Amino acid sequence: MEIRRSIRVPCSPDLLFAWVDDLAVYPRWMRLVHDVEREPTAAGELPAWNVELQAQVGPFARSKRLRMVRSVHDRPTEVVFDRAEVDGRRHSPWVLRATLGGVDGGDHVDAGRDPGDGGMTELTMELHYGGNLWTGAVLQRVLDDEVRLGSEALIDAVSAEPTR
């Protein structure tokens, strides 16, 4: 399964990057990310998080726990998180990539928002999932809806930043 979504956010790439480069921040704007705990890591190890994803499907909730590492950290243009379990078993891949870039021109302002002094940044989020637990038409729609709601919440959260 692949999900790809791009949004334009009225702020600088530096400000927006702080909202996507640390998984512990995601629950503030993405309901799908139910709980996150940063894992202690030794010097030289990739930063890691234990993440619980949860999606509501009617009266039922489906959840998944993942250990994710930040494999790419190119401030302020790209961050990649990969599933990296340490239990010795084989697991389906999960890869989350966020790519940021500045947007030129005033005709790119979303929903009539004023980009202010921070400019406008395009954020593209890509999620690749290689398993079968989160597949199917109903769950795909739920995930798409959660990503859409998360995109809107992220724009609102970043827009409310006092350092904008």
Q: Residue 81: which H helix or E strand, with range?
A: strand 78-83
- Indicate whether 110 pLDDT > 80: no
One-letter amino acid identity for 130? G
Q: Is residue 33 part of a domain?
A: no
Residue 53, domain member (yes or no): no
User: Cα dist. 67→7, 64, 79, 113 in Å?
Assistant: 27, 10, 16, 36
> Would you say 49 and 42 are in contact if contact means Cβ atoms under 8 Å apart?
no
Q: Specify the amino acid at residue 159.
A: S
The pLDDT of residue 102 is: 85
Domain with 95 in it: what CATH number? 3.30.530.20
Collapsing DSSP to helix, strand or coil, 12 comes out as coil
Q: Which domain holds residue 80?
A: 2-23+70-159
Global pTM value: 0.86
Q: What is the DSSP letter of 86?
A: -
The pLDDT score that the predictor gives to residue 62 is 81
In a domain, 112, yes or no: yes
| Mean pLDDT calculated for residue range 110-137 | 71
Say if residues 62 and 54 touch (Cβ distance below 8 Å).
yes
Quote the number of domains for the chain. Answer: 1
- The answer as to whether 35 is a domain residue is no
> Does residue 38 sit within a domain?
no
Token pair 């995109």 is at which residue? 151
Q: What is the mean pLDDT of residues 14-26?
A: 96
